[in-house]
Structures are given as structure tokens and as C-alpha cells.
Amino acid sequence: MTIRVLLVDDQPLLRHGFRLVLAAEPDLEVVGEAGDGGEAVRLVSILHPDIVLMDVRMPGMDGIEATRLIADEAPLVRTIILTTYDIDQYAFSGLRAGASGFLLKDVQSADLVDAIRVVARGDAVVAPSTTRRLLTAFAHRIPADATTDAEQPDPLASLTDRERGVFAGLASGLTNAEIADDLSLSDATVKTHVGHILSKLDLRDRIQAVIFAYENGLNSRRA
């Protein structure tokens, strides 16, 4: 199947460079370009891309707000944030807004292509080690509210005991293999549990699961 990509960046030369890279791949098709977030949101509703490569700092609507609107209005469309810095507030805000990952703008061509394919399959492009660094750097920005109090509803009430164990691994940024080793399960079993967890908690991917854990005060304890 051809993966349809929308390029969003206020610099035409960058868009042109990304287009050239993607045009060389038989399974990737650039279906449109936008120079700001508002135009990106409009084109998503018209062109129905599979993937949006989204710049952050643009005139008018920025990439974070555009990502949030796309996640709300077109949940099947997945966004990859393109940022100048490895770990910064833009990348984190983009992930919280619903992006399925982030890349540096100087990403190698092969890594960009691979990331698009990975996200199109429903996974995320942020490595677990990077996820841990990112969330460690910005955990203080997330309010630790009363959701950990015994009187508050359990945010994991819909999960089975085994799924809670797998979720604890997700919350720590572990890979499926690491979770499998920790819980003495097969990789296939862990993958199945991860799918059930994301579905039950209405989360897009494992990055959103980590953020969900921090937002609900679950990061400091085993589920």
C-alpha cells in the first residue's frame, strides 16, 4: 500500500528536500504541502493523508496546535513532529498533543523514510531510551494531581492484573522485549497486551501511554 504524506513547514526549501527524499521511495507519496498549521489542518480534511510531517514554529497556527486539531478531527491521521532540538518543550508538547513521535530536522534520509513506515504501521518513532530522557526532562511540567489518592477513580480500572503489569513497563519506557523479560512472557504476548491496553485506555501509541502514566501519577509506582 502507498503511504500518503503531507509536508508542513514554512520553509519551501525544506519541504522540497523532504519531497525529493520521499519521491525516491515506491511506497511513499507526497500528496500536498502546507506552510503553516492552519493550512495543514485544512489540507488534512481534503487530502486525507496517512502521515503528516509537521514543523513546530510557523507563522499563524503553530505545529503543536495543528497537531492537536488533527488528532481530534482526524484520529486516523498520524503526525510526526519535526523539531530542531533533540529534547525540548516543542517535542514534548507535540507528543502530548497527539503526535506519534518526533524527529530532528537534520534526520538522515533512511531514518526519515523508516520512521514514516513505522508510524504508518501504528507504532511510534521515539525510541524508549529517548522517551525516558524526554519525560525525565519535562516531568516537572506535568501536574501531579490527586489522581493517586485512594478516593479518586482508578485510571487503570479497565485493565486486568496482567495488563497492569505490562502497563507498568510501558510507563517506564521499556521495549516489548524488556517487558517480556521482566514478566517472563513472550514478545508476542506482550505485544497483544499492549494492543489491548492502548485500546482500553483510548491511547494512540506507547508514547501516549507513558504520558498518560505521568499525567495520572502512575510513573513512580508499579501498577
**Global confidence as pTM:** 0.72
* Contact partners, residue 22, CB within 8 Å, separation at least 6: 5, 28, 29, 30, 112, 113, 116
pLDDT at 101: 81
User: What is 3-123's CATH topology?
Assistant: Rossmann fold (3.40.50)
For CATH 3.40.50.2300, the residue range(s) in the chain are 3-123
Q: Is residue 148 pLDDT above 50, yes or no?
A: no
Q: Is residue 85 pLDDT above 70, yes or no?
A: no
For CATH 1.10.10.10, the residue range(s) in the chain are 138-215
User: What is 138-215's CATH topology?
Assistant: Arc Repressor Mutant, subunit A (1.10.10)
172-212, pLDDT tens digit by residue? 777 788 899 999 999 999 999 999 999 999 888 877 887 78
